[in-house]
């Protein structure tokens, strides 16, 4: 008989020798190796050494041990009394059960990546109890992103190539979260013996990719034009709409054409300073003396007050338009003669 790994055989017929007749009333089952023997109902176990009464339609069933792929076997002897083996039954009849290996769930680990960034390689290998029967892995059920082959370019698509080879699994796959999503991504990996269906014993392993939020470029509110040598009203600085509590600071750099202050208009913000996030955060800007050309500064998001967020890019540029205001004119004193212009 042949059976898939961890499945139960169909009924195995047990009958008298053609030379025997009514004298054989029982069969004895011994030397059960590699699994468990059952009566025809597939439930009632036959222990090693048990006698089973003869029946013209007698069948037994065999269930291999978990993860076994080597052949299993048992011996059957004739008996005339259900207590002893028939003298002529010799060494018995050996029944061999050939077991076809079936892929079990593969081995794969969860992964962590940054928001908007492709993950590192996620390796997939067959179960330690599997052998050459596993030739592929099936990738399916992805959420909150997509799965790619190791090159980071070839997408694994349910319409065409949702199966990868064992070699490709060993190299690894990558996961790209949906744009601006911080929801955990998932996908299912199953072993397969080809490219048409997942292995019978592989219900699948769900891989979870945790996405770490990363600050995007912050938002700078509208800046009202300011008169030359005056100070602006408060300039709103806020998180990007895609960001949340991960952004705890803003960094101010490239301050050109003036001086930047905290909301009190007195405490100076130096180039490169980090300022803690506040839902009502504002800054103020005072142009350099006599400057009428536009002034500007850059703002970056930060998660730690020491480094700039990876997704903050080149920052957000704030431009301050300066309106020229007339200064005192230049005029000199003069001397003239009495009664003369």
Burial 54-86 (b: 16+ CB within 10 A, else e): beeebbbbbbbeebbbeebebbbbbbbeeeebb
| Average confidence (pLDDT) over 134-148 | 95
pTM of the entire structure? 0.69
Which residue bears the tokens 């007339």?
Answer: 326
| Average confidence (pLDDT) over 80-103 | 89
pLDDT of 327 higher than 90: no
Which residue bears the tokens 């050309």?
Answer: 293
pLDDT of 161 higher than 70: no
% the chain with pLDDT above 90: 76
Query: Which among 122, 151, 120 has a CA at the least distance from the CA of 137?
Result: 122
What confidence tier does 159 reach under pLDDT thresholds 50, 70, 90?
Answer: low
Which residue bears the tokens 């439930």?
Answer: 43
For domain 107-212, the question of CATH label 3.90.1640.10 is answered with no
Interacting residues of 281 by C-beta distance below 8 A, sequence separation 6+: 236, 237, 238, 250, 263, 275
Rounded to 5 degrees, what are φ and ψ at 258?
A: 170, -165
What pLDDT shows up at residue 6?
79
What confidence tier does 195 reach under pLDDT thresholds 50, 70, 90?
Answer: confident
85, 86, 92, 93 alpha-carbon torsion, rounded to 10°:
-120
What confidence tier does 328 reach under pLDDT thresholds 50, 70, 90?
Answer: low
What confidence tier does 86 reach under pLDDT thresholds 50, 70, 90?
Answer: confident
3-class DSSP state for residue 88? Answer: helix
What confidence tier does 87 reach under pLDDT thresholds 50, 70, 90?
Answer: confident
Give CA–CA dist 71/91, Å, rounded: 20
Contact 232/284 with Cβ under 8 angstroms? yes
Average pLDDT, the chain: 92
Q: What angle do CA 292, 293, 298 make, to 5 degrees?
A: 125
CATH of 219-323, one of 2.60.40.2410, 2.40.110.20, 1.10.8.590, 1.10.3720.10: 2.60.40.2410
Give CA–CA dist 102/191, Å, rounded: 9
What pLDDT shows up at residue 326?
61
Beta partners for 165?
136
pLDDT of 20 higher than 80: yes
Rounded to 5 degrees, what are φ and ψ at 310?
A: -60, -35
Instruction: Give whole-number Cα distances, 136 to 122, 143, 163, 191, 335, in Å.
Output: 16, 22, 6, 6, 104
Largest CA distance in the chain: 164
Any idea which fold 2-100 has? Immunoglobulin-like (2.60.40)
Query: Which among 227, 208, 241 has a CA at the least distance from the CA of 292?
Result: 227
pLDDT in tens, 240-249: 998 999 999 9
Domain ranges of the chain: 2-100, 107-212, 219-323
Same fold flag, 107-212 and 219-323? yes
**Residue 278: how many other CB atoms lie within 10 Å:** 11
pLDDT of 124 higher than 90: yes
Give CA–CA dist 120/114, Å, rounded: 10
What confidence tier does 2 reach under pLDDT thresholds 50, 70, 90?
Answer: confident
% the chain with pLDDT above 70: 98
138, 157, 169, 148 alpha-carbon torsion, rounded to 10°:
-150
Give CA–CA dist 216/70, Å, rounded: 57
Interacting residues of 208 by C-beta distance below 8 A, sequence separation 6+: 110, 111, 184, 185, 186
What pLDDT shows up at residue 210?
98
pLDDT in tens, 262-305: 999 999 999 999 999 998 999 999 999 999 999 999 999 999 99
pLDDT of 182 higher than 80: yes
Of these ranges, 72-81, 129-138, 159-168, the one predicted with the greatest mean pLDDT is: 72-81
Lowest mean pLDDT among 106-110, 172-176, 288-292: 288-292
């Amino acid at each position: 008989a042949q059976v898939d790994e961890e499945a139960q055989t169909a009924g195995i017929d047990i009958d008298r020798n053609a030379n025997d007749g009514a004298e054989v009333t029982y069969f004895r089952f011994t030397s059960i190796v590699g699994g468990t023997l059952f009566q025809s109902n597939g439930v009632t176990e036959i222990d090693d050494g048990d006698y089973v009464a003869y029946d013209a339609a007698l069948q037994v069933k065999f269930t291999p041990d978990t993860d076994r792929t080597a052949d299993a076997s048992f011996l059957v002897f004739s008996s005339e009394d259900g207590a002893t083996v028939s003298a002529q039954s010799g060494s018995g009849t050996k029944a061999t059960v050939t077991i076809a290996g079936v892929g079990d769930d593969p081995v794969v680990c969860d992964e962590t990546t940054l928001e908007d960034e492709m993950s590192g390689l996620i390796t997939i290998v067959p179960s330690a109890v599997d052998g050459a029967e596993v030739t592929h892995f099936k990738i399916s059920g992805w959420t909150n992103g997509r799965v790619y082959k190791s090159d980071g370019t070839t997408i694994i698509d349910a319409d065409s190539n949702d199966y990868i080879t064992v070699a490709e699994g060993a190299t690894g796959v990558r996961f790209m979260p949906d744009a601006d999503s911080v929801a955990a991504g998932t996908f299912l990996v199953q072993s397969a013996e080809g490219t048409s269906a997942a292995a019978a014993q592989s219900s699948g392993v769900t891989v979870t990719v945790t996405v770490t939020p990363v600050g995007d470029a912050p938002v700078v509110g509208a800046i009202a034009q300011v008169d030359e040598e005056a100070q602006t009203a408060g300039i709103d600085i806020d998180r990007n709409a895609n960001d949340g509590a991960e952004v705890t600071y803003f960094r101010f750099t490239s301050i050109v054409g003036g001086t930047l202050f905290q909301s009190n208009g007195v405490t100076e913000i130096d180039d490169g300073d980090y300022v803690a996030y506040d839902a009502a955060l504002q800054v103020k800007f005072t142009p350099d003396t006599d400057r009428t050309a536009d002034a500007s500064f850059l703002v970056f998001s930060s998660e730690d007050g020491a480094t700039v967020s990876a997704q903050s890019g080149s920052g957000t540029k704030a431009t301050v338009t300066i309106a020229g205001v007339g200064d005192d004119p230049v005029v000199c004193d003069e001397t003239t003669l009495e009664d003369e212009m």
